[in-house]
Structure 1
């Protein structure tokens, strides 16, 4: 066994093997994979191995497409058979919401370039004559998808990696993982390997491996059944493999396994986790006793849907543990708080995700960038999470695998976790909450005359008119919103200005109390994060970023402080609340509650002051995301309720109203303000159209390559107005809709919504450069209907910023 390596990969399942092979493809063959037992002896060996093209987000769809394309040629490259079967797949819809969810997937497939179409019950019956189509409204047919042999696929990656010079060491448990001055020291049963990078790809053992280095991995091992029947005479007689069926009523999948049937069930209730106190280190190819009481109802529905399976014997039952995270996304990227330690785990669909995960992580390790946006997989999206929350949400995630997923859906297991002092008050006022980095944040407020329930969907539902009233309050009077989920940092020290100036694209504020909006880029010129910086003193700055940046941005800043710099960064996110006061009457409302002069001359746009409001000290920042005159009031949590109640009482005659994130989305769409959906780390600032925040008279991280298009794309952001719909007049874009020009797919929508003030359906999309020109007419596929969209040259509302600067 080698004693040095560039990368040590811990874990010999599909994720570890794929990464080892992809590292070699990127030119790094001086790598070692260490496995405590035999290869594939964890969750990989008992996986069913499906890969679907019926997927609801672009990155995951790209992963699945890549997996199918790669597996098709992997045997030729490595000499190891993977037994890829591609009978196609059908995902069934019984309800209007399920039909909408299927329609929403078509644009993604069209953009990536794989066949996907909506079919009716008669088409389904022709594609799969064994399926009972009773109550079926429609299905998505995805040609060319199927399943692969898990062990064969893993061994193919291993064979290819070994041929390229990588080493694989079996029966060699990792005992310690210790940081060194230039990397890591991995102590194993067979010796020590010193390396630059460590990757925890240990699957169900990933949390225990991480604990060797002092941190936790938020995943749980949830038990999943699949059953294999005796041979099916009808399958044998037909001689054509049945498509892979996915059905929410079955709570799982049904497919053909050679001449038999295979039924996999993700029960909607009662899911169980294994090894709550840790996986035994000597466990190998572990399985668990079947529980027919748990899956019986869903099994009966499977037999109703495929009657030719009903009278057959069950030849084999497999019940094994599969890793699940709290939010359906794997953990792929840097571990928080440690350098050159990477996670590649938490995958509930390993054979579909493993190839793409290996490719993107290899690119990240070797080149410092990925080609796809994998921000939603970044392990640093956590930091606040507890083991109890992880378990509850992972079980919930499993139970939601085969349910209809809709925009705005909420999952309520183990909530609330993080709340501002206004939570109870806003709950009393009938707020519907969503979650942002664990924080409960008001989404919309239910009027007294409506049932108190959320109503998610692809169309405008019961929230639409109440949200209109919320936006009108902000545009015409004054609104209050709790935005305490913002990430908030204080940067201090003699070198704080030098450090920040090196990190951000814009010029730092030159005087105390002034503010600047800026971007932090990667070394390859892509967007890492967006920040607002307020100078409190020459050596003291207040930095704000989005909710998801609390751990990730802090980790990024900490790792870029140079050894000779005297800089201290303090996370204030759990100490300070943020109350937004926005609207034409916001100045009048604040003037009633403070001795400070709030006039435009005394309190300028993009400035901040430490003042008293309602008798409590606040950091008032004249900035906002609504496009209206307004302030953000940053206040110690202990004073936040006093501040809110005082403002509410003082503004009664002004028509003060609460508003939530749905209203905020409408307001920001009218002003063409960008969010994390547009500011992703596969995009450069020029592509996102934020050139005005790039200084050409200074150097900053990423500045040497800021004019070069990122690897893999040359998109431009387009801001569009959609024409009214004939088939779905109550539908707007949510993200993922395909964009077409002259019948050719040219991009995807990132986000959208309805602008109540301007009466327009609006959307952002990344498209090819020529299609982003103002005035260009495009087609956007919204719930199966191609709607004309016109690229706008300026914000739909107040392009001169008269409201902001009033």
Structure 2
């Protein structure tokens, strides 16, 4: 129904939300709670009439990221109390969630998930098959190896939850208008100014697109890209089954691709088949409200057969309905939140991959805070809309990748697993050359990147496992060759920008934590901070000339970092940011012999006296004008060679020829990871990010705090320096080489949980497992506190003694290890 206060659409509002599903109503509810009563929610049909009404309603919490787990936990806390607050039924039941493992590799995965749960403060209990059956008596357990139980998981009625959130929003002054279609979003000077509807125009400051599977087409009208597509998703609802009780936990049986929940004495059973069916590939039908697709029993049969092996009672149970409702899915299986990088004040909350009910409460909270404050309440990078890039503009490519992600919803989450669909897409000029030399490629933001190189007679293919994978020895050899001789890395996928204009220095001086006001040719490693002192970008800035800076950042952060820099250039300054990624290939020449090799093919003086670390020079290399950056992310002598794309192959061939006498070889990104762990170099989105300050990350040296130059985030750092830090990034090693660290392992200090590993791997020079993670203590963390503890790491529920370190593990004077 329309808003109870009036049927007349207001002519203005501060915020307009489009879409009346669970995410739209949750965002409205939280904006109302924050005092933004001048918010309007518009729904073209009725509330829940898009995809919410046919959702299955399982509410699980554990994800591989701490903050996403926290967000889902917020949903649970909200749903517990919502019915009491609004006096509107929600159907919420905290009956717990079971997850089965039916083979040893899945059991390893589950045990690692249990450790992740412990890291994030969730109670996840490991059960024997018999203990699991006692909680879920209707299932057979002949093939079950073990199970995990999360007592705080549950289930809800999607429509009831949504209507309860809508009522709560109205109680706090938000207006809701149903049967109101958005015809246009007006844009002036690159930002939203109004929404035109079938009932009139609403002038507004901000628009929030919560249109579910329609979000992509609606956003496209204003030049915003929302990479999602619709996929048919089916689940069956049975009649009553004897023995099914209201307190039955939800059940996930990933080895049989299926899930279950109790429903009025019967069961809801659905799953994720490997051959998902896309929907609306040619556009959406008109007036698709409270609408379902025809049941497809032939397609559902594969799941039914798997389910009968787990729940034999389904064979004789009456079937009430086979629901076939299209849902929106994304290329990486994560939902989409945040302000669109293409349009100021246009926000998106969509693409929930059939767990919109689990995420809805928390996503609405986060989106509301994002809309009001201009940033999320905490780091939400895994779901940030800016994680996408150029490859995601093509709907056909997005559909291929999304169908792959859909089919993997319940398959094993292997360490280091790569997607296979839609590849290759973006290729370095060296792609074919390196492929012939045994490169096994990974993919990031559409770019093909060599992860490792196969040896003679070895197939360049990952073989997935929770043990050491087939590439481990190869990466060790690449690692050690970099330490002892010289290697070449193709890093052409780096995102590369130019900031040009008379005020470029002044703009970067404000945005960058480090001092960029250096002479031409200076190379500055710097972070860019938010107002809380959190690290939003981690990159390299090169001064090319008085009015031009060259900026290099990670492949996956191209959209995010471009957006952050653009939005934080003060409006009164004349500086323009340009993406030049495709114009330059990058070959990194690293190792003790790097200078010897490069000097053979360049007449420029590359001596340390003439070409110091932390500088850039344009030099001639094999007939090409090359921006040579003396910098390293692996801890060895070396240069990043930024080469106009058309010269890349010639320069590479010249390097390999010149380096032959020095034993030069190729190396890939997995060697980079191993090398940087030994040197203690931080990685954005894992070790550092918006929730971590340079002081906490041990990077105060990269901030101009000793200089009288203001910069964004400085005040927060000064306050933190005075008050002290409550978490500190530390390095840990385990001597036992048979233990495998992957990240998210729990850190214990004197037997008390104090954090988890943010990144981990193996250091081939030091021959140890290496992990980095924050040690937390509400009463403060300093060197004395850290040194006084005894530490353990929990790996797959087993604790191992470990050693804490301060500074780089790798000493250049150490004897090099040859593999």
Q: What is the TM-score when the length of structure 1 is the normalising length?
A: 0.95
Which of 485, 488, 497 lines up with 1:489 in the alignment? 497
1:456 offset after TM fit, Å? Answer: 3.0
Tell me how far apart the structure 2 counterparts of residues 244 and 428 of structure 1 sit (CA, whole Å): 49
Tell me how far apart the structure 2 counterparts of residues 111 and 383 of structure 1 sit (CA, whole Å): 31
Residue of structure 2 in register with 1:780 after alignment? 793
C-alpha distance 472-359 of structure 1, shift in aligned 2 (>3 A): same
Tell me how far apart the structure 2 counterparts of residues 368 and 570 of structure 1 sit (CA, whole Å): 23
Q: Which deviates the most, 455-464 or 419-428?
A: 455-464
Residue of structure 2 in register with 1:663 after alignment? 671
Deviation per residue, 1:88-144 (Å, 9 max, x gap): 222112233212221222233224433202222222222222212222222211113
The question of whether the paired residues in 1 share the 8 Å contact of 2:246 and 2:265 is answered with: no
C-alpha distance 731-30 of structure 1, shift in aligned 2 (>3 A): farther
Whether 1:717 aligns to 2:728 is yes
Residue of structure 2 in register with 1:184 after alignment? 193
| Matching of residues 668-687 of structure 1 within 5 Å | 668-676=676-684, 677-687=686-696
1:205 offset after TM fit, Å? Answer: 1.1
Residue of structure 2 in register with 1:72 after alignment? 80
**Aligned-residue CA RMSD (Å):** 2.1
Which of 673, 695, 704 lines up with 2:715 in the alignment? 704
1:682 offset after TM fit, Å? Answer: 2.0
Residue of structure 2 in register with 1:228 after alignment? 237
Tell me how far apart the structure 2 counterparts of residues 209 and 703 of structure 1 sit (CA, whole Å): 39
| Matching of residues 377-526 of structure 1 within 5 Å | 377-384=383-390, 385=392, 386-526=394-534
Whether 1:207 aligns to 2:212 is no
Tell me how far apart the structure 1 counterparts of residues 459 and 143 of structure 2 sit (CA, whole Å): 29
1:213 offset after TM fit, Å? Answer: 1.2
C-alpha distance 723-735 of structure 1, shift in aligned 2 (>3 A): closer
Look up the SS of the partner of 2:369 in the other structure: helix
Residue of structure 2 in register with 1:359 after alignment? 365
Residue of structure 2 in register with 1:283 after alignment? 288
C-alpha distance 96-714 of structure 1, shift in aligned 2 (>3 A): farther
Structure 2 unmatched runs, 5+: 1-8
Residue of structure 2 in register with 1:792 after alignment? 805
| Matching of residues 41-440 of structure 1 within 5 Å | 41-180=49-188, 183-235=192-244, 239=245, 241-269=247-275, 271-348=276-353, 349-384=355-390, 385=392, 386-440=394-448
1:8 offset after TM fit, Å? Answer: 0.8
Tell me how far apart the structure 1 counterparts of residues 28 and 763 of structure 2 sit (CA, whole Å): 48
1:523 offset after TM fit, Å? Answer: 3.1
Tell me how far apart the structure 2 counterparts of residues 709 and 202 of structure 1 sit (CA, whole Å): 41
Look up the SS of the partner of 1:106 in the other structure: helix
Deviation per residue, 1:200-249 (Å, 9 max, x gap): 011011112212312332100111000011211232xxx46332221223
1:714 offset after TM fit, Å? Answer: 6.3
Tell me how far apart the structure 2 counterparts of residues 707 and 185 of structure 1 sit (CA, whole Å): 41
Tell me how far apart the structure 2 counterparts of residues 792 and 281 of structure 1 sit (CA, whole Å): 62
Look up the SS of the partner of 1:305 in the other structure: coil
The question of whether the paired residues in 2 share the 8 Å contact of 1:558 and 1:569 is answered with: yes
C-alpha distance 686-199 of structure 1, shift in aligned 2 (>3 A): same
The question of whether the paired residues in 2 share the 8 Å contact of 1:249 and 1:301 is answered with: no
| Matching of residues 586-605 of structure 1 within 5 Å | 586-605=594-613
1:460 offset after TM fit, Å? Answer: 1.7
Look up the SS of the partner of 2:592 in the other structure: coil
Which of 22, 37, 42 lines up with 1:29 in the alignment? 37
Structure 1 unmatched runs, 5+: none
Look up the SS of the partner of 1:706 in the other structure: helix
C-alpha distance 75-772 of structure 1, shift in aligned 2 (>3 A): farther
Tell me how far apart the structure 1 counterparts of residues 738 and 37 of structure 2 sit (CA, whole Å): 54
C-alpha distance 358-800 of structure 1, shift in aligned 2 (>3 A): farther
1:531 offset after TM fit, Å? Answer: 1.8
Q: Which deviates the most, 737-746 or 580-589?
A: 737-746
The question of whether the paired residues in 2 share the 8 Å contact of 1:517 and 1:533 is answered with: yes
Look up the SS of the partner of 1:234 in the other structure: coil
The question of whether the paired residues in 2 share the 8 Å contact of 1:369 and 1:524 is answered with: no
Deviation per residue, 1:708-729 (Å, 9 max, x gap): 569xx9652332223334xxx5
Whether 1:19 aligns to 2:32 is no
Deviation per residue, 1:458-494 (Å, 9 max, x gap): 4322221111101011000001111111110111111
Tell me how far apart the structure 2 counterparts of residues 456 and 481 of structure 1 sit (CA, whole Å): 24
Tell me how far apart the structure 1 counterparts of residues 68 and 640 of structure 2 sit (CA, whole Å): 36
Deviation per residue, 1:344-381 (Å, 9 max, x gap): 11111100111111111222222333333201211122
Whether 1:639 aligns to 2:644 is no
Tell me how far apart the structure 1 counterparts of residues 15 and 815 of structure 2 sit (CA, whole Å): 55
Tell me how far apart the structure 1 counterparts of residues 478 and 814 of structure 2 sit (CA, whole Å): 21
The question of whether the paired residues in 2 share the 8 Å contact of 1:460 and 1:731 is answered with: no
Deviation per residue, 1:279-312 (Å, 9 max, x gap): 2341101211122222212211101111111122
Tell me how far apart the structure 2 counterparts of residues 104 and 708 of structure 1 sit (CA, whole Å): 38
Residue of structure 2 in register with 1:9 after alignment? 17
The question of whether the paired residues in 2 share the 8 Å contact of 1:734 and 1:750 is answered with: no
Tell me how far apart the structure 2 counterparts of residues 693 and 113 of structure 1 sit (CA, whole Å): 32
1:689 offset after TM fit, Å? Answer: 1.9
Look up the SS of the partner of 1:17 in the other structure: helix
Q: Which deviates the most, 80-89 or 598-607?
A: 80-89
Which of 617, 627, 635 lines up with 1:619 in the alignment? 627
